[in-house]
Amino acid sequence: DGGITQSPKYLFRKEGQNVTLSCEQNLNHDAMYWYRQDPGQGLRLIYYSQIVNDFQKGDIAEGYSVSREKKESFPLTVTSAQKNPTAFYLCASRRLAGVAETQYFGPGTRLLVL
Amino acid sequence: KQEVTQIPAALSVPEGENLVLNCSFTDSAIYNLQWFRQDPGKGLTSLLLIQSSQREQTSGRLNASLDKSSGRSTLYIAASQPGDSATYLCAVTRGSTLGRLYFGRGTQLTVWP
């Protein structure tokens, strides 16, 4: 089955700790995205990547970092600099073939602060 | 900057009603507009995608229209069912192949039997 997997489903972060959220896709998509969703809010873009070893900041990149060493993987690290990390994090991917291509989303990771 | 607004924020209706969800965006220079469905605690599922050159798209009981010049889209749900209960999100794409999506806050729909 082709799709996007995110792990873990729930993640707990202690004060001052960095944590990494995993995102893997087997759809052979070029572009990958990370979004943050807060209650009652729409999704906000954190980082995105079109090709391996290249990525761009989105609207709320401060306190986050990413890497794109493989086409199928786009992990997100929430650093200790992110003071309010509690949220639902969604990863997505997309072909870059044209304007009619939709984004496919993973099931999400909920991050909670202890 | 692109701003996307969805009205209403929440909607509760009895089964069988026809519904209209509204979406507006501030910058008409979009490449496409999408409607997504999100169930509680889950990821997003794409429902319909309308390219900027199109006026509407249909899938089953769903019909989405786009008026790019006025910055508006509507999602019409015919003969609503309890299984339609979810949050519906509107998103627009600007820029060529980067595929960045700008989301509204969503409409939370409850359809009761």
pLDDT of residue A46: 97
Those of residues 78-97 in A touching chain B at CB distance below 8 A are 88, 90, 92, 94, 96
What is the spatial distance between Cα A112 and Cα B36, in angstroms, rounded to a whole number? 25
3-state secondary structure of B15: coil
Of B46, B51, B105, nearest to A41 by CB-CB distance is B105
**pLDDT tens digits, chain A, 114 residues: what are they?**
679 999 999 999 988 899 999 999 999 999 999 999 998 888 999 999 999 999 999 999 999 999 999 999 999 999 998 889 999 999 999 987 766 788 999 999 999 988
Helix (H, G, I), strand (E, B) or coil at B91: strand
At residue B98, the pLDDT reads 64
- Rounded CA separation A24/A32 (Å): 10
The pLDDT score that the predictor gives to residue A29 is: 93
Residue B13 has pLDDT above 80, yes or no: yes
**Tens digit of pLDDT for each residue in B32-90?**
999 999 999 999 999 999 998 999 999 999 999 999 999 999 999 999 999 999 999 99
pLDDT band with cut points at 50, 70 and 90 for residue B11 = very high
Confidence of residue B111 (pLDDT cuts 50, 70, 90): very high
Q: Do A42 and B105 touch (CB under 8 A)?
A: yes
Averaged pLDDT for residues B12-23: 97
> Is the CB of B100 less than 8 angstroms away from the CB of A45?
yes
Chain A residues touching B91 at Cβ < 8 A: 42-43
- Which among A31, A42, A105 has CB closest to B106? A42
Collapsing DSSP states into helix, strand and coil, what is residue A6? strand
How high is the pLDDT of residue A105? 95
Chain B nearest-CA residue for A42? B105
Report pLDDT for A74. Answer: 98
Is pLDDT larger for residue A33 or for residue B95? A33
Contact A110, A9 (CB under 8 A): yes
Tell me if chain B has a CB within 8 Å of the CB of A41: yes
Q: Label residue B63 left, alpha or beta by phi (over 0 means left) and psi (-120 to 50 means alpha).
A: beta
Residues of A in contact with B50 (CB under 8 A): none
